[in-house]
Amino acid sequence: MKDIIDEQVKNYMNEVEAECGTKDERLYTIFNKTFLDTLQNALKVDENKNIFVLTGDIPAMWQRDSSAQLRPYLLLAKTDDNIKDIITRVVKRQFFNMNLDPYANAFNMTANNQGHQTDKAKMGPWIWERKYELDSLCYPVQLAYLLYKNTGETAQFDANFVSGIKKMLATIKTEQHHENSNYTFERDCDVPTDTLKNKGKGTPVAYTGMNWSGFRPSDDACTYGYLIPSNMFAVVVLNYIQEIFSSILDDSDIVAKAKTLQNEINEGIQRYGIVEHNGKKQYAYEVDGRGNYVLMDDSNVPSLMSAPYIGYVKPTDDIYQNTRRFILSPDNPYFYIGEYWSGQGSPHTPKGNIWPIGMALVGLTQETKAEKQNLLYLMANTTNGSNMIHESFNPNDPSDPSDFTRPWFSWANMMFCELLLSYLGHDVTL
């Protein structure tokens, strides 16, 4: 791989620094560290000359995280062919992974048998973890499409991409009727959210048209199998597939299958995913199609907060706004009010901890520049002098910002970068 930090990257960094100016010098210092860190330390060339993306402090590639880690680079890729090539090779590796196993969420760089090989699941030497997460099917398609939309690149739409899409559509169709699926997952552990109940099948669900997901984007088990944010994401991505296979590639069968699934899933969201809370309609986080639902949100993306960010609704949508107010209130069991900070957390991390990714999403789903700036400085104050954004932090003691989870979490770093670029007026084209 050519030297990544070439003149074009340096020029881009200089432009961002100039736009920040002395007023936001502190923000640029973090941007300089985090934006370059992923390029320098998280990307590895594999045996097929594709690019494997480390999540950070875990030596595996998540389909979800790797997409989010690369997203801010799309802005640079518009003018930098080297960066465009890197993203293309990441997409190719993602679809290599998807062809290996569409049910797996995380992969090894080589067939080295690392990861959770003792799980009761159909593991293999390439698979780090086999938690079925609907978003893990959606994210590589999103990155492939956004690469095309932002740069015009089409090299990622190769035979491996086509076969991966076919496997993806077949998996989604199967998991509309999870009771007939062969997928199960169990892990011998003391953490209930790391395994599925009911002999690895999860809690029972009824048909809704939506896609069943065993796990959330946090890698935590779903309480009820129809995870609304991930199904929202699927609706958007299935539309991307229709566009790709009608305007770039030519496969009317794939277009028709994607359209049918999109309509069925969206109808399911509208019928089962909208509930009434305090006299107002809002989206539930999870439902089972049997009348049960969970009212909450999680900082991992896709989330309900992220619905405009992923392209499912406009930020002004009434039901979304009702949902947003719920998310940012004590009614959300994972909205925490600390002594010095307040914000959204996750059941994935200690109770009371706030997630910078959640903070970034608040900024990326509204238009107020002042609020984006405020959120950026709040995130900046949690780095403990490392200039690295952590997974979560304790909001109760500003004198001890060392109380955090994960010292190197590339996804969080890049969400800071994306929010800063948005604050400066540079947004990824959807």
pLDDT computed for residue 2 by the predictor: 66
Query: Residue 391: is its pLDDT beyond 70?
Result: yes
Does 405 map to a domain? yes
Does 428 map to a domain? no
| Share of residues in the chain with pLDDT > 70 (%) | 98
Q: Is residue 90 within 8 Å of residue 66, measured between CB atoms?
A: yes
Range of the domain at 218: 7-423
| pTM for this prediction | 0.98
Q: How confident is the model at residue 385 (pLDDT cuts 50, 70, 90)?
A: confident
d(CA 152, CA 424): 24
d(CA 255, CA 124): 31
**Secondary structure (DSSP) of 29-94:** HHHHHHHHHHHHHSEEE-TTS-EEE--BSSSSEEHHHHHHHHTTHHHHHTT-HHHHHHHHHHHHHH
Query: Residue 400: is its pLDDT beyond 70?
Result: no
Query: Residue 398: is its pLDDT beyond 80?
Result: no
Does 164 map to a domain? yes
| Domain count for the chain | 1
pLDDT computed for residue 401 by the predictor: 60
Q: What is the mean pLDDT of the chain?
A: 96
Does 71 map to a domain? yes
Q: How far is CA 384 from CA 294, 303, 380, 414, in A?
A: 35, 27, 9, 17
Q: For residue 2, which amino acid is it?
A: K
d(CA 10, CA 223): 46
Does 1 map to a domain? no
Q: Is residue 71 within 8 Å of residue 143, measured between CB atoms?
A: yes
Per mean pLDDT, which range of 63-77, 294-308, 365-379, 384-398 is the poorest?
384-398
pLDDT computed for residue 1 by the predictor: 67
User: What is the CATH classification number for the domain harbouring 95?
Assistant: 1.50.10.10
Q: How confident is the model at residue 399 (pLDDT cuts 50, 70, 90)?
A: low
Does 2 map to a domain? no
335-337 and 293-294: which strand pairing? unpaired
Does 200 map to a domain? yes
d(CA 127, CA 217): 17
Q: Is residue 169 within 8 Å of residue 176, measured between CB atoms?
A: no
pLDDT computed for residue 56 by the predictor: 87
Neighbours of 152 (CB within 10 A): 9
Q: How confident is the model at residue 43 (pLDDT cuts 50, 70, 90)?
A: very high
Does 430 map to a domain? no
